[in-house]
Structure 1
């Protein structure tokens, strides 16, 4: 289960992510992972991964003012041929009832299926027991009325309106792929385990507003990867992070560290992971998702000739951090320059191969011939990527190995999406209070230090971490936080 630690006004969720295969039979904590595609057609697999990401990017939540929130669930193991779904359990209501919910960094609302839900799956290919929420069976549940100010807060995250027949605040999420969820908002207890220092005390709770879905459509109806609902990690007022922060229970910050090996896993913390090597860049203000100001790209220290307007945030244009996208996608103007620079750097040592639109190279030596790529952001923060961070092995024989470039051209031409390709093996901190995102290279199988003070001010120097944050830190290791278990299911199908 997910365990929460409010320490000095700070709430931390820490999770050990274990790989689980979707197979018939029991549901053990760890099993051998299954591949999504046959091993003898790897370039074709990569093109299918790109198609999978395209579907995911098309799932745009339409807000009432015509703007959009892109639905980006957190991905699983980085191995692009093993597609994962991260989910955890939450307890709601009185008496408490447990629900499996998918982690989603792109939406804001926590919602679970209602007992009256039409289209909600009755079974799951993840081999988990699905539950539904019944407000009438919870002694602490109350339906949010149309006049409740929290109903207005819900309009930031969805199409929110009033049901005059029963005075319910109702919502609708419509996705670009034809799927959707609709229902009404309720208030009830959300159960947490609290900690003071290293001691743990359970049976704590907080009252939050969440969605009770009465109807699902499209992909959400399919049982193969069904869970009870979605746990939104967005920035708006209705997100659980924002609600707990407003009650003084949690900081408005969360962090993750996803392992880049085939086994996947990592740590997710509702709190701030601190490390002296973390660099920060500001979030673009007034955006519904996690937009950053990407200013330039350098290859082997040389700045690429990219018009800065390519990275400007406006409408559907900009740079988004998305741990739910498998690869990474560059706006057309940036992609072409990067591919040219990499090609020029390896032209004497590698034979170019293009298949299914994927740029690959056949190499008889090591990957050291490929250049270092640096993504440079506002505030002086850079994400430095060695060849191992953007190359994907396709084929190998005694004479050579074929490596493909994980960067892809964005289908929207002007949108850059930084997915798992560049986010794995890094601490990534989403500091919503300070309106910044930070990262540092890290071995995600190692322990992490979590601040118990929260962010008190924005650090203007992105190359440093406020030393005061390290005065009170909770050290978490994947070995000792078994009670913070979060399951990861490795799916045999794509989104």
Structure 2
């Protein structure tokens, strides 16, 4: 059973609940058992009918769309919304139909405006190829055929261009522009100089590209399952957001101004769930990247 604080346009709240089917496991192994990586579970936001977002939508609790804004600096955090964050400038790209993941049609990658020389077929979605947006992945991964020329483009830059813009160009004319802080990870210091490494990892033997939290952070991402599209825009995730509610009319709330009682916070362990529904989520960046 999920419990909500329902929020209306005048910021008044009321309690509501929904019965949700979920699964449990009785055995866990590997890295997920280590204290620094252990998790209590996975909140399912896939496209299938058994996912949490689909079940809530079928019960009229929320629309079949969710959004997140992951804060990249300090200790992470951010906002997760069951509903659509409304913000000017959001660009959308259509989802690849009939896929189990959130696949987009990646058409090209550019470094400082120069297209990385990769056969476009590398980016096409097939049984073992494609580009996936996945907030459950910490870093980001490039298909082997794309990673090597991408890294070479970075190495060929002049000293004054050592930290270039990287652009992912998608179907529908939508581009995801990454600043250096969106794809580099600082790994300490050497002789007083900051040591940075490339957050993109190579996927050997597979043609899969995965865009994880490394590149999703500091942006609003909208997963519009109803309209089969994903949208994004750069955003300061410590700020409040406007949320469109599924009420038959356009209503907006300022999620950053919402609060819950201390007893509720204790119960939910700093997880706030509201009808528009925002929660705080925490992201931590793991090490393990390749050096430029």
Q: TM-score, normalised by structure 1?
A: 0.50
Partner of 1:333: 145
The DSSP-based 3-state class of the residue aligned with 2:157 is: helix
How far is the alpha carbon of 1:490 from its aligned partner?
Answer: 7.9
Matches within 5 A, 1:245-394: 245-346=57-158, 349=159, 369-394=162-187
1:410 CA displacement: 1.2
| Residue equivalent to 1:405 | 198
In structure 2, how many angstroms separate the alpha carbons of the residues matched to 1:398 and 1:492?
24
Q: Does the C-alpha gap of structure 1 residues 223 and 338 become closer, same or farther in structure 2, counting only changes over 3 Å?
A: closer
- The answer as to 2:260 corresponding to 1:448 is no
Report 1:48-67 matches (<5 A). none
Residue 218 of structure 1 is matched in structure 2 by 29
Partner-residue secondary structure (3-state), 1:434:
coil
**Aligned CA distance change for structure 1 residues 427 and 453 (closer, same or farther; 3 Å):** same
What is the distance in 1 between the residues matched to 2:85 and 2:141? Answer: 27
The answer to whether the Cα contact below 8 Å between 1:220 and 1:226 also exists between their aligned partners in 2 is no
Equivalenced residue count is 269
Q: Do the aligned residues in 1 keep the contact of 2:56 with 2:62 (CA within 8 Å)?
A: yes
Distance 1:380 1:451, change over 3 A: same
Q: Which residue of 2 aligns with 1:435?
A: 228
Matched, 1:201 2:14: yes
TM-score, structure 2 normalization:
0.82
Q: Is the 8 A contact 1:254 1:271 kept in 2?
A: yes
CA distance in 2, matches of 1:216, 1:393: 35
2:259 matched residue in structure 1: 481
Cα distance, 1:226 vs. partner?
Answer: 5.3
* Greater share of strand: 1
* Matches of 1:268 and 1:490, distance apart in 2: 12
Distance of aligned partners of 1:214 and 1:233 in 2 relative to their CA distance in 1, 3 Å threshold = closer
Structure with more relative contact order (C-alpha pairs < 8 Å, separation 6 or more): 2
Change (3 A) 1:305 1:398: same
1:231 aligned to which of 33, 38, 43 = 43
State the shift of 1:342 in Å.
1.1
- Report the RMSD for the aligned CA atoms in angstroms: 2.8
